[in-house]
A and B are shown apart, each in its own frame.
Chain A
Amino acid sequence: MDTAVSVKNIMKKFGEVTALNDISFNIKKNKIFGLVGPDGAGKTTLIRIMCGLLKADSGEVDFSGIESAGSKGKIKNEIGYLSQKFSLYTDLTVDENIEFIADIHGVKNYQTRRDELLQFTRLKDFRHFQAGKLSGGMKQKLALACTLIYRPKIIFLDEPTTGVDPVSRREFWIILSGLLKENITILISTPYMDEAERFNYIVMMNNGKLISEGTPAEIKAALNMTVMEIVCIPVRDAYKILKKNVRSDVQMFGDRLNLIF
């Protein structure tokens, strides 16, 4: 009963490459669900399929957990999606962006909610700025505010913290935890292991396959190995050197390396 969305046996191929290989899991209501894996694991493809932007070769995404009686076929009003690029209309202001999204979702009297969200995301002072003039972290918060204006039941965030400065990142996490109070289920994908600690439940992916799932504690226990995270510059060179000289598993996650032994 507490399942919001269940993903069942999703398969997706791009030509010869298997992007997603038989992925199944359940997302529980009002939890922060983490999709963790290195670049190229298939996280974005999976999210795009879940949002209906891409068709899976087989398998299905079942939204019956959040579909209310009257909302059948209008599932799009229940879903929020934040792409990696925070796609906003750069020539519209903060207010206008939110207004447009509210309008096309048929939200009436969004003004109070908008003020609330701008307060919440600390964008109130920038409401008359054109979105193109905002910093990366602010754009991301605006994109989130746009998504939240129509009160979706679940939001999909595709690597929301990649390429955002550490301060904004921390702030963003605080905002997200605040959302759980509003009965919103959150799915986040990230390549960062340190962020994984913040999730209620994690699905780990690699090369299009689900490799393990559970709470952060469970995953740590099951691993029975040590993960050493190395933050260094330049990552790519360090990765090549380690890969050549160390026998244990090396993985690259954005700006850092994980050494598993």
Chain B
Amino acid sequence: MKIIRLFINKEFRQFLRDPKMFVIVLIAPIVQLVFLGYAANRDLNYVNTAVYDMDKSGKSRELLRDMEGSGFFKFNDFTANYDDLEKALDDGRVLCGIVIPDDFEKNIMNRRTADIQIIFDGSDGNKASIASGYILNILNNFSSEITAEIQERSGLKRSLAGMIIPETRVWYNPNLTTRNFMLPSIVGLILIIITINMTSLAIVKEREVGTLEQLIVTPIRPYQMIVGKLVPFTILGFVSIILVLSVMRFWFGIEVKGSVTFLFVCSFVFMLSTLGLGLFVSTISRTQQQAMITSAFLVIMPMIFLSGFAFPIDSMPEAIQYLTYLIPLKYFITIIRGIVLKGLGFSELWKDLLTLFLMGAAILTVSSLRFRKKLE
């Protein structure tokens, strides 16, 4: 125990003398968080729209007024012909183009179906589908108003009975901001970088300099070496979690709804697997460059892509969905989103936590055995 404490002391002393490490542990998480907080914004606040109104009638203006009144559509361009509308879409100035044919009002008045054309720039599928949802909603209202108006004029009183009117409520993230959804996961990403990347680098550095060999000649045991190397990074991990949570709270106003203590416990369990992976990377790399590349490309990138951090797992092909079960970060992101956004606790999250724990224990055991074997 004493030897482990000495080792940890030594690690911290070295850490304090390395300004690079300071930047990585203390500055990088905050910078990442702030950038991501602003950049990871998939919200669609308004849709730039071009309009080619051939009808220029009362009804067509009424429709356009309804759309503009919704606040979602911003008419930047009233074009005089179809080509200009096409060009506006081509140039990316607008996301949506609306063409109202010249018989629009006439058809409505004659109780015929009136067509309008709506063109979306589908290169960002997500935005286009959100925008089309908005439009359909407005058009629905518009046509039911017309129906009501016509029925009224023809003297048929329409009864409102039997209609379904949804009262929608969004829970956990009422404004549907992507930021709230993305930022808690940053805790996971930061932990990955500190515990996988930096741990493996620190161990490989000792091997490169030759101090690891020197340590083998001393009475220090491999397990003491492992614990002595891993504990400092666990502590650094916690420091950066606290930093990230504070910035989230005081900069972006995202509060942790659940228990912070429980969040720390879960983070620790998650770190078992990432520290294990860091240790593993150190056993297969001879130089710090190798460790860097191995941890970045072979471990961290697949982890991020398959964790559901960036892309929803539900929309991945089935085979790849099975693969995501092997990614510890996937469980941690579920847990942390649950705690931060929904205020969930152990009773809801125990399955993910248990999986994470079993994975961590397995990875750490395998890596430690490998590390020990490498020393001998």
Contact B211 A89 (CB under 8 A): yes
Given A76-B219, A104-B220, A105-B219: A96 touches B209 (CB 8 Å cut-off): no
CB distance from A100 to the nearest CB of B (A): 5
Contact B210 A85 (CB under 8 A): yes
Question: How far apart are the CA atoms of A100 and B12 in the complex, in Å?
Answer: 13
Given A55-B376, A88-B211, A90-B209, check contact A81 B14 (CB 8 Å): no
- CB contacts under 8 Å to A, within B196-217, are 209-211, 213-217
Q: Is B347 an interface residue (CB 8 A)?
A: no
B17: contacting residue among A87, A103, A104, A130, CB under 8 A: A130
B interface residues, tally (CB under 8 Å):
20
Contact with B along A184-223 (1 / 0, CB 8 A): 0000000000000000000000000000000000000000
Question: Which residues of chain B are within 8 angstroms of A235 by Cβ–Cβ distance?
Answer: none
A177 within 8 A of B: no
CB pair B18–A76 under 8 Å, yes or no, is no
Return the contact of A106 from the options B13, B14, B210, B219 (Cβ within 8 A): B219
Tell me the complex Cα distance, A83–B3, Å. Answer: 23
How far apart are B101's CB and chain A's nearest CB, in angstroms? 76
The distance in angstroms between the C-alpha atoms of A53 and B212, with both chains bound, is 11
A interface residues, tally (CB under 8 Å) = 26
Query: Which residues 94-128 of A sit at the B interface, judged by CB distance below 8 A?
Result: 96, 100-101, 103-106
**A40 on the interface (CB 8 Å rule)?**
no
Whether B13 pairs with A79 at a CB distance below 8 angstroms is no
Contacts of B214 in A (CB 8 A): 81, 83, 87
Give the docked Cα–Cα distance between A101 and B219 (Å).
10
Partner of A100 from the list B6, B17, B209 (CB cut-off 8 Å) is B6
Question: In the complex, which residues of chain B have a beta carbon less than 8 angstroms from the beta carbon of A103?
Answer: 3, 6
Q: Is the CB of A87 within 8 A of B210?
A: yes
Q: Is A105 in contact with B218, judged by CB distance below 8 angstroms?
A: yes
- Determine whether A51 belongs to the interface, using a CB cutoff of 8 Å to chain B: yes
Q: Does B61 contact A (CB under 8 A)?
A: no
Tell me, in angstroms, the Cα distance from A200 to B18 when the chains sit together: 45
List the B side residues contacting A52 at CB < 8 Å: 216-217
A22 → chain B closest CB, angstroms: 24
Q: CA A53 – CA B376 in complex, angstroms?
A: 7
Closest B residue to A156 by CB, please name it.
Answer: B217
Task: Contact check, B216 vs A96: say whether CB atoms are below 8 A apart.
Answer: no
Min CB distance, B360 to chain A, in Å? 28
Report A-chain residues with C-beta under 8 Å of the C-beta of B217: 51-53, 76, 79-81
Alpha-carbon distance between A80 and B218 when the two chains are bound, in angstroms? 8
Whether B14 contacts A104 by the Cβ 8 Å rule is: no
Within 8 Å of chain B (Cβ to Cβ): is A181?
no
Contact flags B3-15 to A (C-beta < 8 A → 1, else 0): 1001100100110
A227 at the B interface (CB under 8 A): no
Chain B interfacial positions (CB closer than 8 Å to A): 3, 6-7, 10, 13-14, 17-18, 209-211, 213-220, 376
24 contacts between A and B (CB under 8 A): A53-B217, A55-B376, A74-B219, A77-B219, A81-B214, A87-B210, A87-B214, A89-B14, A90-B209, A91-B14, A92-B10, A92-B13, A92-B14, A100-B6, A100-B10, A103-B6, A104-B3, A104-B6, A104-B218, A104-B220, A105-B218, A105-B219, A106-B219, A130-B17
- Chain A residues packing against B (C-beta within 8 Å): 51-53, 55, 74, 76-77, 79-81, 83, 85, 87-92, 96, 100-101, 103-106, 130
Not counting A74-B219, A87-B213, A90-B209, a sample of 12 additional A-B residue pairs whose C-beta atoms are within 8 angstroms of each other reads A52-B217, A55-B376, A76-B217, A76-B219, A81-B217, A88-B211, A91-B17, A92-B14, A100-B10, A104-B3, A104-B215, A104-B220
